[in-house]
Structure 1
Amino acid sequence: MSKTKTTTSNLKINIIFFGNTKHSEIGAKIVNTIFPISLFVTISDSPIALLAKKLGKPSIETKILEKTTIEEIAKYEPDFLVVEDYGLILPNILLKLPRIASLNIHHSLLPKYRGPSPAPAAILNGDLVSGVSIIQIITTVDAGSILAQKKYPLIPGETTDSLLTKLNDMGGKLMVSVIKQYLKHSIKPIPQDLKKATYTKHLTREDGYFNISNPPSPEILDRMIRAYYPWPGAWTRFRPLGSNGQAKIVKFYPGGMIQMEGKKVIPMQDFLNGYPDFPLKKSITLDK
C-alpha cells in the first residue's frame, strides 16, 4: 500500500482527510499543499473523491464507517484525522486511531452554533460576524477543546455558499497552523464554555418554505433567501391568475432573482410585471 509521508521538523506524519463537499475541497487543497494527505475518506463521486483521483491519492468512498472501513484506515497508521464538511459522526474507535490528534474545521466561533448548519444560522440570525474554529474531535459533537479561531465579518449580500467558500479557505489555512503547532509541541487547547453553547439543526426542504398569505418581513425574507442558498432555497406556493387554481412553487434567489415552477430564473421586477397579482409585490425586497 502506498502511503504519503510528510516530513516536518524531522517528524513523518500521515494525514487522513474526511470530507464530501465542494467547500471541503477548498480546505483539503490547502492542507495538502503543505502536508500531503495520505488518504481521503468520502462518498462516491463527491468533489473530494474527484480531487483524490486528480492528485493520484488513494481514497475510500463509503456512506457508512463500518468495521472493515476503519480497519482499512488503520493500515495508514494516521497521525492526524482532519474532518471538514464530512456529514458523518466519527465513532470513538476511529477517533482513537491517530497518534497525535483528530481535528475538525467548524464554521462558527464555537461554542456558538454547534451542529450541522452554522453558516446558514449566522446569516438567518443577521449576525455581523462569523468565523471558523479548529477543535479536537471528541464523542460529543462539536464539543472538543478549541485549538484556534478566526473571525470573519460578513459582507452585505453574503450567502451560505459564499460564506462557506471563505470559511473553508480560512479553515484550511488555520488547520495548517494548528498542525504545525502540534509538531512543535506548542498547542494550547482551550475547553469550550458549555453555558455559552448554542445549536443548529439539519436543514430540510421545508425550512425554506413560507406561507405567501403570511410572509416574513422583507428583512427576514432577504435573510432566508441568502441563508438557504443554494439549498434548500427560500420558496412558497402561489396560484397565479389563469392557473385553474393550481398552486405553483415559486423559488427566490439572491440578487433579486426569482423562478416560477417550470420557468426560467428571471429578475424580480420582470416577474412582478408578468404576475401583477403576486401578493408580495408591495413588500418584496429587491436585492441588487
Structure 2
Amino acid sequence: MRIESWKNVSVSEICHSLKYGTSKKSVSQGKVVVIRMGNLQDGEIRWDDLAYSNDEEDIEKYRLFSGDVLFNRTNSSALVGKTSIYRGDYPAIYAGYLIKLDYDHSRIIGDFLNYSLNTIRAKKYYNLVKTDGVNQSNINAKKIGAYKFAMPNIKEQIEIVRILDDMFAKEQQVKQVAETVVEQIDLIKKSILSRAFRGELGTNNQNEESAVELVKEVVEKSVEINNKPKTKRTVIPEEIKSALSSSNEEEIIRLLIKSAPKAVSVQMIMSISKKKFELMDALRSLEQKQIVIKNSLGEYLLKR
C-alpha cells in the first residue's frame, strides 16, 4: 500500500450527481421505508422510529440500492454532515434532508466513501462550511461536493475497509463484554446494598468474609494500583517533533521508536486509535515528510 500514490479528489469528482430526497410527507405505515436524518447513526442505517411512503412516483424516483451513501445536509449544528451507507435491509427511499451521493462505482467503493466522510477531518470541514439557522444548520450539495479527501485505488480501498471493519468489529465485541461486566458489577452492588439494609452483611460464619474486609481489600488494591510506577512516556527527539503536525503523528512516531529496530505493520499502527482514517492521514503525512519509510513487506520504520 503506497500512500504517496493516493489522489486528492473532491466528492463531486467521484460522483455522477448529488441528489436531494423527497419533500413529500411520509406516513406511519406504507409500502417502503422513508429513511430520515434520525435513521443515520454511526455510519449505518438504524431501522427504528420508521416512516413510510405509498407514493409510486417517489418510490420509483428515490429508490435506494444496496451500497448507496446518504449525507445528512440539514440537522443540528452538532449532527449536520453525518453520513451512512444503505445496505438494502429493507426497501427504502430517502427524505429531503438527505443527499444521495451517486458515486462512480468504478473509482470508489461505498464503504470507503462512507468512512472518508465520517472522519474528524471531514467533520471539521462541515463545521467550517455549514450555514447556521435558528435551530438547524445546513450544508448544500455544492459544499459537500467541494470536500476533498485522499483516495487510493480500488484494490487498496477494499483492503483498508477490510482492516477497518475488522477492527471496529473487535471494538464492538470488547464493548459488549465490558457492558456485561458492568451489568454484573451493578447487580453485585445492588445485592450488597440489599443485604446491608437487611443487616445480613455481618455473619458469624468464620469462613465467610465480612463486608468490612471486602471493602478493605478493594481499598488496598486501589492504593496498590495507584502506587505502581507509571510507564515512562517515550520521548520524541526534538528534530523530529518539530516537524510533526498532529497528535496522531506523534503517537505513530512513539510506536516506531518503541519497536525499533523492528518494523511495524499497518495493523499495529491502526490499533493506536479507533479513528482509523485520521491515522492513515497521519501516516501518509509522515511518509511525505520522509520521517518514516516502508520496507519491502509493507511495514514501517523510522527513517534514521
* TM bracket (short chain): under 0.3
TM-score, normalised via structure 1 length: 0.27
Structure with a larger share of its residues in helix: 2
Q: Larger RCO: Structure 1 or Structure 2 (Cα < 8 Å, ≥ 6 residues apart)?
A: 2
TM-score, normalised via structure 2 length: 0.26
